[in-house]
Structure 1
Amino acid sequence: MDEQNIKSKGKKPLVDLLNQLEIYKNKDTYKEVNGLTTLISKLGIYKAPILFGIDGLTDLWNSIDKEILLKQTDLGLPSKEYYEQEEAVTKYKEIIKAMLSNILDDENQDSGNFFTKLFGGSDKRDFDKLANSIVELEKKLSNVVIPPRVINVYGNYISDEFKEPLKIMDKLLYGVEYEPITYEYCVNIVDSSMGMALGRFFVDEVFDNNSRKMA
């Protein structure tokens, strides 16, 4: 995988994805069942689910059968107990604000228009207020603001200069800074979405007819 090429693009792929989701264009439809369902489905495809996530599994007893796993999505912090710790919550808000600023606060990029469109013609990029709102929503186990959710999922896989706040987050929660490996993420996403459904295609593509004899 050409990670140098990926990093050379900076934050543009993530900004393009946020614009492609057209959150600002369709925000009024989320009040209705169909509109919200469409949004949930779309975010599920990109593995940035809200409310609940969907994964594909292979039945352990019969590999021909596939299972669909419906599960509650994660919050920004590992458990609700973290939201009771003032120091953790304060740091978490700072990290959210920093990532929003890194990705969205740039008038020279398409992201400069993101908040203008999202808020209906006026630029209201108050990242402090937005960070507080996100945490309060998470405390109530409610819906999370969508752009930060997408940023949190994909922020580790863009250029290093824009993901420093997420490294601070890992240090806060786990005591170490973790550097995600892009190709592992891609493999895991395919595996969680398809279960082992692609297993045979992989074998057919990689191994020739003499592989079994050679083994």
Structure 2
Amino acid sequence: MHDIRETVREVLYAILPITIVVFILQFTIIWLPFAVFAQFLIGLAMVTIGLMLFLIGVQVGLLPVGEMIGSALPRTGKPWLVIFFGFILGFVVTVAEPDVRVLAMQVDMVSGGEISKNLLVYTVALGVAIFVGFAMLRIILNFSITYLLVGGYALVFGLAAFTPAYFVPLSFDAGGVTTGPMTVPFILALGVGVASVLRGKSASTDGFGLVALASIGPILAVMALGVIYG
């Protein structure tokens, strides 16, 4: 019950600033039509309730299940299973990420359907999946995350030289939207679960950094898509 009250309080604190700003603008400068402002209020109520339910669901279901899966996989004694299911989970969680869907719909609309929303969603998901697999490999082999970060961003800036200009900002946006409310809790919990089994609770911090790695994958994947389309 305490966790629920805390979640409700966090959501209200998150929603309140933008609500105040919109109210100030509405009654001082912009004066939106009543129908549009009423839609904003209805949407605000739906977002507030939905965000409360979503965060409660993350705490009740996603985080515990992600950590349990991460703890169970290394116990099989098969490192390839950890990497394989890291890849699969990275893909399916990204496909379910609402932020990715929003970006894909915007790109589909702006491009007139030339870059379909499903193509972009699956491209971004594939990029995340590959780098989550690399992240699992890093935890297994216990080498520094610096190598993957430096190597990944070196590839990003190298590939940017061959990518059409309009795909470069899109690719970085694709990397940003993967750090959303669906992907982050599950991937972090998965990494912490794997690291805590392989090297004990004292080394569970090795499970962090997965989100940073996962955000490189979509950038490279969308740039590669741009090279193909270009």
TM-score by length of 1: 0.31
Greater per-residue helix proportion: 2
TM-score by length of 2: 0.29
